[in-house]
Structure 1
Amino acid sequence: MTKKSFAYLFLLPLAILLFAVLQYHRVATLLDRAEYEQEILVKAEKLVNHNFTGPTEIEYQREGADKAELIDAGNAQTDASIFLSQNKNALSVARPMLYLAYAGLGLSLLYLLTNSALIALGYLGAKKGRRSQHDLVQAFDFCRTWLPFMLAAQVLFLTLSISCLIFYELTGLMSTAKDGSDILAGGYFFLLGIGYIIFIIWRLVKMLSNSFSLFQPEPKPVMGRNLSRDDAPALWARVERLALRLETITPDNIVAGLTENFYVTANPVRLNTGEILTGQTLYFSLPWASLLNEAEIDAVLGHELGHFAGKDTEYSLRFAPLYARFSSSIDAVFGLRKNAPGYMNVDFNTAMSSCYYVLGQFHDTVMYWRQRREHGADEMGAKASTPLALSSSLLRIAALSNPVDEYLNEVYHARVTPDDVVAALLAHLQTLPLPDPRAFLENETAHPYDTHPSCRARIEALGCTTDEAAVIAARPVTGDSFAHLFLLVNDFQALCRTLSAELTGEITQYRDNYKQSLETVLNRAAKETVIYARPKIAIGGLLVFLYFLYATLSGLFNPDLTFPPNDKSYTLMGLLLACAVIAGLGLRRVIKVWKRGKQPVMVLRHGSVSFHMLGAPVPLAALTGYAFFKTRRGLRIGFTYKEGYEPPKRTDNRWLTYTHCSSTEPFFYVTAYGKLRDASGAPVSQEQLAELLDTYLSASVAEHEIKDFQ
């Protein structure tokens, strides 16, 4: 658990609880004292009014005294009356304040208990998930059922507990009001508080609905063609035969495509045609199928179908897609306002900390089972074909991944526009020397939802030798390598041409849009943008100047100041000189702040950016990123830069010339004091500044990339 999560989940509720305890102590002490004074008043009145002939003294413990003492009943009656009179207004609202204190105590305890339950939910769920994949799925199901409600309860208890603390103080403040305007102001605060609670409840409902969407899998965009049984009867028969042999689920859909490797998914799939496929989908990669022999294709298909076998079925169909969605969507769903002050998002930051903790607890368990799942799927792939065929397919895919990706990258950049991507790829690979497969034994195969162990570990687990598998994987690529695919898919060549044309069309449309966006960036970056930071007047410097100027002028008219000066006059003159110097320093500060507002804090140009506090412009090509940090006096902007670049020295401070925030990281910062404005005086928000920085930083990249369109 991170320090931030610990602060939100434990320190914050403890702080609220302790403050509620303090509030309870204050009002309970007042009520107890008032009850005691009322009893004293009743007893004293009986003694005084009934004119007892005996002694009229009564035991009375004064406020703050250690023990009671005997005093005259009349005096006790007077003291009690004075106390009740002085605290009349406070006592009139003491009972509501007591109830608010009780509510604050109870809600803060519920908030703390809810946080503890969330911690237990993540920890125990992940611990249970280590027993088996079935237990992992059950634990995650339980988690996804209760987590949204616990998050809602967490935010609700936090909001209400803080509201109780605030209303308690407002009630006490209103009890001290002396005129109608103060009471009216207090009423406004109450209305604002109620409005805030309504706003938080609205956010709560929205967050609750969004929390459920965390566990709804989104359709995965896929470029390909859904093959019906009429389109590829032999391929469907082959897959069904393998599924029957392996006792796995037969996929509901087979999608043939050009851009990805083999995989299976239970997530919904959205094709580039707009069609959405549900159920289990097998992605059949035409480029990779053309590079594998029939035994290797059977092994790869068996491996993928193995994810739908036995205990792995529940994991693949239910858990993996939902977990992938959950782990990638937390930030987007909660819509954190990263630029807002932290106190504005305490409720959501608390919920986010809870989600990240639960996710972190499940992560280690998920990685544990992913490794074991791959070895289990490999056993199924070996059963579908042979262990050697699966081993050689692993190494062949690993060895050819870079050449295949490089060629497809040429296609994506429209440097080549083949009518048939598969045939053109095979022709291209025939001109290249095949890399030694043994150099890729430590590679891990990519997968859209999972991770894989290294090739060496998988091959050794199959009982094969890496040398034997490497020899088979190193066979050359030939022009007829994909001849066997003509038997699997009807009119295979037409399918490849159709998919190639669709891919080319998508690339053309994407590149046209991308080129237009690059031109827009370059046009915007061609203009110089000047940003000013208009700070508020230096209040401290102005007060110092006025105070010590007044002291200096007053001292000049002091009768003790004589000419020629005597010893006393010398002392006074020294003090006046010191006051004049301090007044001058205050005036200097005021003038410095005024001049700073007249100078641009940042000038953005094509290729460089200048800062008021740095001695030279900074090349935009040297910067790799930026981040905003809010400070008490303004906005601090941190920049990361490329290795080897040395930022200019600071010129705004003769004693502090370095710009580095860290001696170990390539990071420097500049500070803008005051509100940001452009050359016309219009305010510039942090979001607008970020957009400007992104535009100018992208311009250097855009200038290079647009040459690719020439």
Structure 2
Amino acid sequence: MRKFKLSPKVSLVLWLFVFPATLFGLGLWQAERASQTLSQSSALSQELRAMLAQVKKIAESEPGAILTFQGDEGPNSLSAMVAVPQIQTAVDQADEDLEISSIRQPIPWGTAAGALLAFVSAIVGLATAAIAGVRARRSQDQLVKSFERLRNTLPFVFAALIIGICVSTVCASLFEAISIGLWTDLSAASAKLFVAGLVLAGVAIYSAYVALRGLKDVFALFTPEPLDVSGHRIDEAAAPGLFRFVRDLADRQQAVLPDTIIVGLTQGFFVTESALRLWPEDEIVTGRTLYLPAPYLDLLDEPEVAAIIGHELAHFSGKDTIYSQRFTPIYAGLWRSLAALRRAGDHDFVLNPAVLLGFHAIEQFDRAVNHWSRIREFDADRNGTRSTSTVGAASALIRTGLILPALEQVLSHVAGNPPVAESSDTRPDLVSHTSDLVRASGWSDPVPLLEDRQPHPTDTHPPTRQRIQALGLTVDERLLKIATRPPKPQGLTFASGLFSDWKAICAQLSQDYLSQARAMRAAHRQTLQALAAAVPGETIVYNNVKPTIWAMAIIAVIFIGFGLTVTVLPAETGFANDDFTRILVAGVAMFGVAGCGIYVVYLQKSAARPLMILTPTELQTSMLDTPVAWIDVAAHQVFASNRFALRLWMDPSALLPAKKRRALYSKVDRKEHVVTLGAMGIRGMKPAEFSELIGRYHNAAHASKELSRSASEAQTIAADDLRWFRSS
């Protein structure tokens, strides 16, 4: 059955308007009830006190005088002496009701005030988001300013919204809980309602505490975090040609020079003024930074590199990196904040309105962000062509998109199988190998890549085709032929002339990547070994028939009681004059008792046999004709709602076992490739414990399989890698 889910707009209206309005109406209704009850309690107290004074005077002069009182059940006559303590009791009760009414009278206004605070907070939040979103479309500067105002306002709006809902919920619950004290016919049900009201109020208070405590983390999440980047800082001594090239481009564009140039392996070209955390040195880099990917440099010619670096320097001159430094971190911070609130809101209804309001607010900026991102990239493309030709710029856009698949193929190969033994002549150079792969295999089809966006760590870029069209060119055969020309031979590339020792830099970047790949692979292997070692050997589990036996015993007692009643008390049960029916009913009862007894004996015998035998390699069970190998199980789940069952999703290539006839509650679905093993339960285990046990066997088998496969393939892979890298 498909789960019904409200649309975001409907949820927003319900939580921000309907829910507070309902609480506000409830508060007004409670206030009216409180006012009426207070007036009635006050009048009754005064009336009873006056009556008590009169009766006391009569009792002092004539204790035996008979007085008639009008009650709910009619007139009631009592002597004056007897009436005094009863009236005193009524006065005490009326005073207690008056005190309760006085205590609860202001509480409804808390319900209404909290709801009003939540409603106003929602209006303020929505209005702020709408105004900020409109202003953000006017200019980049307005985008940053509007967003800063919004992110400074939202936490306080969130806090007011949460406090308002919590105050309203707590007051409404307390009012109804206190109101139970005014009931004259208190009972066990009344006491349960009172406790329920207090529990609901307690839950609301605790939810408010947790929500507000978590809300303070929103401020911390806005703090920009350094961007993690893998690469090396390059100085002018290591790349004199590169620094001259960049200075020349900056002079021609009248652009600002970067403070730092980083050469890496795995990212695309980008510039930023945000803080970077450089790996593997764990160094924090600040200021204007230009990042250059070595594999791209090795496959691009001078006009293409000039176009790309000119494009990136244009971001400096256009103050785009300042925009990114001010806007991108807080924009990402707000997303992190809302994601954290959403995770908390899944278990806390108090946070739902704040989460919905937050996501609605940030969505108002998405269109403006995309709009200005496109404009910034188009402007940077045009400025970048000042340092080269438009054809070079267009070719660079296509060629960088083609480099990425080749680079990913190389990196994924060595990440999965990093070479272990290295020497000076076999140390891999992933940069040159990427170029060699293109020389040997050619480029991939460029047409599907024209709609892709260039990789960038902070902003989205427009599609490549649109960027080329914005330069005044069309993607034709001539342009594609230029972009897909073969790479130059090693040592003759444009990049090799920019650095003092280009090969050493590429080797160092490759070594860093391989070291990280080995560390990740070693950690993965340790995880597999831990999973494989966690298997507990052989485990025998039995069907838990005890609850069913108890149920049969209770049913048998009911049958016995019914049969004895009909037999011993025929007159009282209406069977005194119908011997046949009495005998028939008694016989049915005896048959029921016998049936329960036979079923109990069957259960006890079946419980003595193992339900399942779990071994490190397979699951054996009497419900199937053949065991189930753990490596053939893709996933599993234990169900315990209606009937206990272990469901196994089998690998599509696995041979399915057949179900035995006596396994009534088991099933083998060959169409869906699912095996379901039914039971009454697992003796001595809760469903979660049994599921964890199955998971240990399942994970251990797959871990052992992967370890065995890795060991058998290691020699072949190592030899292939040695030949692969030597050929590079």
Q: Given the two structures, how large is their TM-score scaled by the length of structure 1?
A: 0.75
The equivalent of 2:570 in structure 1 is 559
Q: Which residue number corresponds to residue 720 of structure 2?
A: none
AA aligned to 2:287 is G
Distance in 1 of aligned mates of 2:457 and 2:626: 46
Residues 145-174 of structure 1 show CA distances to partners (whole Å, capped at 9, x for unaligned) of 122223333333333333333433444456
Q: What CA RMSD, in Å, does the superposition of the two structures yield over aligned residues?
A: 5.5
CA drift of 1:474 comes to 1.6
Residues 367-426 of structure 1: CA distance to partner in whole angstroms, max 9, x if unpaired? 444444433332233334222112111221222322222122223234556443323333
* Cα distance in 2 between the residues matched to 1:118 and 1:598: 66
Q: 2:465 aligns with which of 456, 459, 471?
A: 456
Q: Distance in 2 between matches of 1:628 and 1:346?
A: 29
> Which whole-Å CA distance do the structure 1 matches of 2:408 and 2:232 have between them?
21
Q: CA deviation at 1:336?
A: 4.0
Alignment equivalent of 1:394, drawn from 394, 397, 402: 397
Q: Which amino acid aligns with 1:327?
A: W
Matches within 5 A, 1:11-30: 12-13=19-20, 16-17=23-24, 19-21=26-28, 23-30=30-37
Alignment of structure 1 residues 473-622 onto 2, 5 Å: 473-480=483-490, 483-525=493-535, 527=537, 537=547, 549-560=560-571, 568-570=578-580
1:69 maps to what in 2?
A: none
Letter in 2 for 1:550: G
Q: Any conservation in 2 of the 1:34–1:84 contact (CA below 8 Å)?
A: no
Q: Any idea what SS the aligned residue of 2:457 has?
A: coil
Q: Give, in whole Å, the separation in 2 of the partners of 1:135 and 1:636.
A: 60
Aligned counterparts of 1:323 and 1:258: Cα–Cα separation in 2: 27
Residue correspondences, number: 676
Could you give the per-residue CA deviations for residues 322-347 of structure 1, whole angstroms, max 9, x where no partner exists? 3234435644x459479xxx6x5333
Residue 139 of structure 1 aligns with which residue? 146
Between the aligned partners of 1:256 and 1:484, the Cα distance in structure 2 is: 15
- Residue deviations 1:172-193 (CA, integer Å, cap 9, x gap): 45677999xx9x9999999999
Counterpart amino acid of residue 386 in structure 2: K
Shift of 1:498: 2.5
Where do 1:101-250 residues align within 5 Å?
101-172=108-179, 203-204=210-211, 206-246=213-253, 248-250=255-257
Kindly indicate whether residue 283 of structure 2 is the aligned counterpart of residue 275 of structure 1: yes
Q: Does 1:433 align with 2:436?
A: no
Residue identity matched to 2:487: V
Q: Secondary structure at the match of 1:102?
A: helix
Give the CA deviation at 1:291.
Answer: 0.4
Pick aligned residue for 2:329 from 309, 321, 327: 321
For residue 289 of structure 1, what is the aligned residue in structure 2?
A: 297
Name which of structure 1's ranges 609-618 and 157-166 shifts more when overlaid on structure 2: 609-618
User: Do structure 1's residue 265 and structure 2's residue 269 form an aligned pair?
Assistant: no
Q: 1:140/1:622 Cα in 2 relative to 1: closer, same or farther (>3 Å)?
A: farther
**Does the CA contact (< 8 Å) of 2:42 and 2:98 recur in 1?**
no
Amino acid at match of 1:96: I
Q: 1:531 to 1:350 in 2, by over 3 A?
A: farther
Q: Which amino acid aligns with 1:89?
A: E
What is the alpha-carbon distance in structure 2 between the residues aligned to residue 374 and residue 642 of structure 1? 47
- For the residue of structure 1 that corresponds to 2:228, the secondary structure is strand
Name the CA shift for 1:476/1:483 in 2 (closer, same or farther; >3 Å). Answer: closer
Q: Deviation string for 1:490-532 (max 9, x for gaps)?
A: 3333322322333333333332222222222233358466789
* Residues 185 and 464 of structure 1: CA distance in aligned 2, closer, same or farther (over 3 Å): closer
- 1:305-344 equivalences in 2 (<5 Å): 305-310=313-318, 312-327=320-335, 330-331=338-339, 333-334=340-341, 336=343
Q: Distance in 2 between matches of 1:460 and 1:596?
A: 77
How far residue 569 of structure 1 moved from its aligned partner, in angstroms, is 4.3
1:33 lines up with 2:40 in the alignment: yes
Deviations along 1:433-487, whole A, 9 cap, x unmatched? 3334345333332333333333222222222131232111121112246643244
CA distance in 1, matches of 2:116, 2:238: 63
Confirm whether residue 380 of structure 1 aligns to residue 383 of structure 2: yes
CA distance in 1, matches of 2:539, 2:23: 47
Displacement of 1:16: 4.5
Is this contact kept in 2: 1:133–1:311, CA < 8 A?
no
| Segment drifting more, 577-586 vs 262-271 | 577-586
**In 1, Cα distance between the equivalents of 2:222 and 2:296?**
33
Compared with structure 1, are the counterparts of its residues 682 and 548 closer, same or farther at alpha carbon in structure 2 (3 Å cutoff)?
closer
Cα distance in 2 for residues equivalent to 1:656 and 1:296: 66
Contact between 1:289 and 1:297, CA under 8 Å: does it hold in 2? yes
Q: Aligned with 1:447: secondary structure?
A: coil
AA matched with 1:216: T
Deviates more, 1:399-408 or 1:116-125: 116-125
CA contact (8 A) 1:90 1:172 kept: no
> Is the CA contact (8 Å cut-off) linking 2:556 and 2:593 kept in structure 1?
yes
CA distance in 2, matches of 1:535, 1:33: 61
Moved more, 442-451 or 93-102: 442-451
CA 1:683–1:412: 2 relative to 1, 3 Å: closer
For 2:465, the aligned partner's letter is R
CA distance in 1, matches of 2:648, 2:227: 35
- 1:446 aligns with 455
Q: Could you say which residue in structure 2 is the equivalent of 1:252?
A: 259
Shift in CA distance, 628/501, structure 1 to aligned 2, threshold 3 Å = same
CA distance in 2, matches of 1:536, 1:23: 51
Indicate conservation of the 8 Å contact 2:207/2:348, yes or no. Answer: no
The Cα shift of 1:282 comes to: 2.0
How far residue 585 of structure 1 moved from its aligned partner, in angstroms, is 9.6
Q: 2:689 aligns with which of 684, 688, 692?
A: 684
Change (3 A) 1:129 1:519: same
Query: Gapped runs of 5+ residues in structure 2?
Result: 1-6, 59-69, 73-79, 716-728
Could you tell me which of 412, 416, 419 is aligned with 2:415? 412
Contact 1:21 / 1:105 at 8 angstroms: preserved in 2? yes
Aligned with 1:137: secondary structure?
helix
- C-alpha change, 1:249 and 1:79, in structure 2 (3 Å) is farther
CA shift digits 1:180-239 (9 cap, x unpaired): xx9x99999999999878865653454233212322232222221012344434433433
Query: Is 1:97 equivalent to 2:104 in the alignment?
Result: yes
Identity over aligned pairs, percent: 24
- Distance in 2 of aligned mates of 1:163 and 1:615: 60
SS at match of 1:221: strand
- Equivalent-residue separation in structure 2 for 1:584 and 1:357 (angstroms): 66
Contact 2:177 2:195 in 1 (8 A): no
Greater alpha carbon shift after TM alignment, 93-102 vs 23-32? 23-32
Provide closer, same or farther for how the CA distance between residues 29 and 449 of structure 1 changes in structure 2, counting only shifts above 3 A.
Answer: same
**Higher mean Cα deviation, 613-622 or 551-560?**
613-622
State the Cα distance separating 1:297 from its structure 2 match.
0.6
Distance 1:281 1:672 in 2: 64
Answer yes or no: is the 8 Å Cα contact 2:667–2:676 preserved in 1.
Answer: no
- Taking structure 2 as the reference length, what is the TM-score of the superposition? 0.73
